């Protein structure tokens, strides 16, 4: 299905989205979103034909309860109003401190992702991006890992309720997408694929190759846990060797992807070393898969990313560029106006180009498996655990 006129991209954004703020010193600083959107605007991406900026109102309880228990939603609202800690529900921890307006801020993110997904499903947009979304750790009854409400779960459920029969969720955040996987663990309609740093070295400690889904959905949960220090080329090999064949075989009607950019070597919370350029290439891979298998229906979410100046704005500006069909050249200079703003606000320099390196692309899996290479062995462990559930050959497909 090809829409007439210019390519249509819905970009969820308003300054109200900056209200998701755990306070001074917390890694998930709203400044990262402000700097990202300033860079997106300075690159001219928001002024392109077919790009629509839309805000989001806080989701009603009925919508939140498609992803969360009613008691949890009530607990978030209460903590948000009176500041009471509720550790049973994960509210008031160092990861998820309580702040005034927390319920409304987190519920606004959910609306943004749900409305974006429905717009794509209903052919009101070709692609959609919600950089404030991707809160993939939130569980049905508790907050976790900086995530209060799970917008990805709510968005996928909304599309399923609207008639979709197969949805693929692809997560390349450095942390395992545990909340989304848990929600769809035994649902054969949803394929969840997470490429992350191993749970042996990074929160949340889950996402192992043998975690493949419930009894009614074997092979629908897919996990690649990579070792500390993995760089961009082997990371891309893992993404290509697992995500591409499984999504092609599953043939979803819509892809939802989470592009937390904390796999970068400059990120203060993780141990991978994946450049902006490699992450940009993975974004392009997911975009191209959407056009190949599901008529371009693609919803891209943000997620983690805590190198607030050097990484997050560039990585997510690339995501917006790809989603608008106006990709930004990694060799391009960062706009001077943006650098001047960074210097004024933070008193220091920002990155001067949109990329980090001359990216070396990996060998295709079809050219051979190297049992002497640790990343190849980990890729193979995932393929052996999952591929037979999809009638794929772990060694050759």
Summarised one tens digit per residue, pLDDT across range 28-77 is: 999 999 999 999 999 999 999 999 999 999 999 999 999 999 999 999 99
For residue 66, the 8-state DSSP code is T
Alpha carbon distance 273, 127 (integer Å): 29
Cα-flanking dihedrals φ and ψ of residue 236, to 5°? -65, -35
Q: What does the DSSP 8-state code read for residue 100?
A: T
Q: How far apart are CA 246 and CA 255, in angstroms?
A: 12
Residues 6+ away with beta carbon under 8 Å from 85: 79, 91, 92, 98
**Mean of pLDDT values over 129-139:** 98
pLDDT in tens, 66-101: 999 999 999 999 999 999 899 999 999 999 999 999
Q: Hey, what are 179's tokens?
A: 């909340």
Q: Is pLDDT above 50 for 3? A: no
Most distant CA pair in the chain, distance? 59
Whether the predicted pLDDT of 2 surpasses 50: no
Q: Annotated catalytic sites, by residue?
A: 137
Q: For residue 221, give the 3-state DSSP assignment.
A: strand
Q: Pairing between strand 298-301 and 127-130?
A: parallel
**Cα 211 from Cα 220, distance rounded (Å):** 10
Supply the pLDDT for residue 5. 61
Per-residue model confidence as pLDDT tens digits over 308-318 = 999 999 999 99
The tens digit of pLDDT for each residue in 314-343 reads: 999 999 999 999 999 999 999 999 999 999
């Amino acid at each position: 299905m090809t829409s007439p006129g210019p390519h249509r991209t819905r970009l969820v954004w308003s300054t109200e989205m900056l209200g998701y703020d755990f306070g001074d010193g917390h890694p998930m600083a709203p400044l990262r979103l402000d700097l990202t959107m300033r860079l997106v605007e300075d690159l001219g991406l928001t002024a392109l034909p077919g790009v629509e900026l839309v805000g989001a109102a806080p989701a009603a309880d009925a919508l939140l309860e498609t992803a969360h228990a009613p008691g949890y939603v009530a607990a978030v609202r209460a903590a948000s109003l009176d500041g009471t800690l509720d550790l049973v529900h994960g509210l008031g921890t160092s990861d998820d401190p309580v702040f005034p307006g927390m319920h409304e801020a987190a519920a606004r993110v959910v609306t943004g992702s749900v409305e974006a997904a429905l717009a794509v499903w209903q052919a009101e947009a070709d692609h959609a991006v919600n950089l404030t979304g991707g809160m993939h750790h939130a569980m049905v009854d508790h907050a976790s890992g900086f995530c209060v409400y799970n917008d990805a779960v709510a968005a996928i459920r909304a599309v399923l309720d609207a008639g979709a029969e197969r949805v693929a969720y692809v997560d390349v955040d450095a942390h395992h997408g545990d909340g989304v996987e848990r929600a769809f663990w035994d649902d054969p309609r949803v394929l969840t694929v997470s490429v992350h740093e191993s749970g042996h070295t990074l929160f949340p400690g889950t996402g192992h190759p043998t975690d493949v889904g419930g009894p009614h959905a074997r092979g629908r949960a897919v996990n690649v846990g990579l070792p500390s220090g993995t760089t961009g080329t082997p990371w891309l090999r893992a993404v290509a060797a697992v995500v591409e064949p499984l999504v092609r075989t599953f043939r979803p009607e819509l892809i939802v992807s989470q592009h937390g950019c904390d796999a970068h070597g400059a990120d203060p919370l993780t141990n991978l070393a994946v450049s902006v350029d490699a992450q940009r290439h993975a974004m392009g891979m997911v975009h191209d898969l959407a056009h190949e298998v599901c008529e371009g229906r693609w919803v891209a979410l943000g997620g983690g990313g805590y190198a607030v100046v050097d990484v997050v704005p560039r990585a997510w500006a690339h995501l917006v560029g790809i989603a608008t069909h106006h990709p930004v050249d990694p060799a391009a200079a960062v706009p001077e106006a943006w650098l001047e703003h960074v210097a004024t606000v933070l008193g220091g320099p920002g990155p001067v180009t949109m990329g980090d390196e001359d990216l070396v692309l990996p060998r295709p899996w079809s050219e051979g498996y190297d049992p002497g290479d640790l990343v190849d062995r980990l890729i193979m462990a995932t393929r052996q655990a999952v591929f037979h559930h999809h009638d794929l050959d772990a060694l050759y497909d």
